[in-house]
Amino acid sequence: MLRWIIFIAIYLALGLYTLQALKTVSRYPWVYYAFILLSLLVLGNFVYQFTVGDDTGRVLNRPKSYAFGLLLTMLTFKLITILFLFSEDIFRMMSGGYQKLFGTAKEFTFPERRRFLSILAMGIAAVPFSALLYGMYKGKYNFKVLKYNLEFDDLPEAFHNYQITQISDVHSGSFDDRKKIEYAIDLINRQKSDVLLFTGDMVNNKADEMHPWTELFSTLEAKDGKFSVLGNHDYGDYIDWATPEEKMKNLEDLKILQRNIGFDLLLNESRYLEKDGAKIALIGVENWGRGGFKKAGDLNMAKSNIAKDDFKILMSHDPSHWEDKVIHDDYHYHLTLSGHTHGMQFGIEIPGWVKWSPVKWRYKYWAGVYEELGQYINVNRGFGFLGYPGRVGIWPEITVITLKKKPMV
């Protein structure tokens, strides 16, 4: 209860400070009242969803996600506005202190300065405010197909131009627009790839989150098969279960569900993809993540039935596994496919110019293709969303990778 009181007090204080800027910018009382009403509604909905209306334990359901998203949007607007006004207040305090200390008659306050800074602050704050709202309304379903050509010296000739579609982090428990998901499934199928690889996090917490979407995802097609691995959310670790047996059953139900969809779920296992008498190894590990995430992945077990000189594609949900274990393994993994980071669902990307997200401070490899020690990894930005119910700048991704035999020089 004390935490809620402190949080509400801080939120209201930020609102009052922002209101002063609004009064400086506008002379119309209805504008102030609209801001106060909107601010209180956002706060009230957030408190309600996470207290009185919360009957789901730690599960972040759709109403709670939107309550969090709206609160984040409002706080971003307030904090950016306050950042400008606070700097002005500091300036005025220092100016007043200077005048009193030295008795100067010089005027350090400017009547229009406050108004100018208020307009500037609210104009700048309106940009992320609008972007976060857009991210919840449109951005979360702004699916992008990203295509890469990767060349290898030792790729079997038969697999030249072999095409892989990768999806990751479906998080079906967050979906709220069937038409958009139907469009995305059709977009995947239109790539007509040879194989479809899903790199984990089918659900947020429970297998039954996928039940409304099972039939739709069953329509995914790839002529050489559909393969999957588990992500950290698939184990049900972020929910309070009545018994360990209930949690275990949930995981088993999810495994069965994936197989019913048509995925060959690799649990520290391997398969061979064959074409015209040649083959490449496909390895799938369970989740292995740095920083408190589940470490069920066993690379040694997964590679036990393949040869060291095979051409290898590894599916591993968390890219920290690649960084910490895979690239230094005695086997050479030509291509690793991961997800997990979501690109934080927020950032700035202009192809060829800039790629930035705050998640880079946690994950060195957080989105796109990287190469280390002659080995590649693609970190998929994710198909779905979690927590903040939207995406800004980092759009939902369908990856298409074409394997190429490097030409002889």
pLDDT at residue 173, as a whole number: 93
* Assigned CATH topology for domain 144-405: Purple Acid Phosphatase; chain A, domain 2 (3.60.21)
DSSP state of 170: -
Is residue 156 scored above 50 in pLDDT?
yes
Among the ranges given (3-12, 259-268, 397-406), the one the predictor scored with the smallest mean pLDDT? 3-12
pLDDT at residue 362, as a whole number: 95
pLDDT at residue 227, as a whole number: 98
pLDDT at residue 118, as a whole number: 79
pLDDT at residue 108, as a whole number: 46
- Higher pLDDT among residues 4 and 61, named by residue: 4
Dump pLDDT digits (tens) for 308-341.
999 999 999 999 999 999 999 999 999 999 999 9
Dump pLDDT digits (tens) for 168-192.
999 999 999 999 999 999 999 999 9
CB 394 within 8 A of CB 355: no
CB 359 within 8 A of CB 114: no
CA distance 103 to 97: 10
pLDDT at residue 301, as a whole number: 98
The helix or strand, by DSSP H or E, that contains position 377, with its residue range, turns out to be: strand 375-379
Among the ranges given (20-29, 53-62, 148-157), the one the predictor scored with the smallest mean pLDDT? 53-62
pLDDT at residue 369, as a whole number: 97
Average pLDDT for residues 275-298, to the nearest whole number?
Answer: 96
Average pLDDT for residues 72-95, to the nearest whole number?
Answer: 78
CB 151 within 8 A of CB 404: yes
Give me the chain's average pLDDT, please. 91
Is residue 375 scored above 80 in pLDDT?
yes
Is residue 167 scored above 80 in pLDDT?
yes
Distances (CA, A) of 181 to 63, 136, 214, 381: 19, 15, 12, 16
- Higher pLDDT among residues 37 and 99, named by residue: 37
pLDDT at residue 21, as a whole number: 82
pLDDT at residue 54, as a whole number: 64
CA distance 168 to 198: 5
Is residue 117 scored above 90 in pLDDT?
no
Q: How does residue 253 score in pLDDT terms, banded at 50, 70 and 90? A: very high
| Half-sphere exposure for 21 (CA within 13 Å, toward CB) | 26
Q: Can you give the pTM of this predicted structure?
A: 0.91
- Higher pLDDT among residues 133 and 27, named by residue: 133
Is residue 98 scored above 60 in pLDDT?
no
- What is the pairing mode between strands 397-405 and 144-152? parallel
Is residue 85 scored above 80 in pLDDT?
no
Is residue 210 scored above 90 in pLDDT?
yes
Q: 392 — alpha (psi -120 to 50), left (phi > 0) or beta? A: beta
Q: Which amino acid is at 364?
A: K
Distances (CA, A) of 224 to 87, 197, 218, 263, 285: 61, 11, 15, 11, 20
CA distance 77 to 124: 9
Q: How does residue 56 score in pLDDT terms, banded at 50, 70 and 90? A: low
Q: List, by residue range, all CATH 3.60.21.10 domains of the chain.
A: 144-405
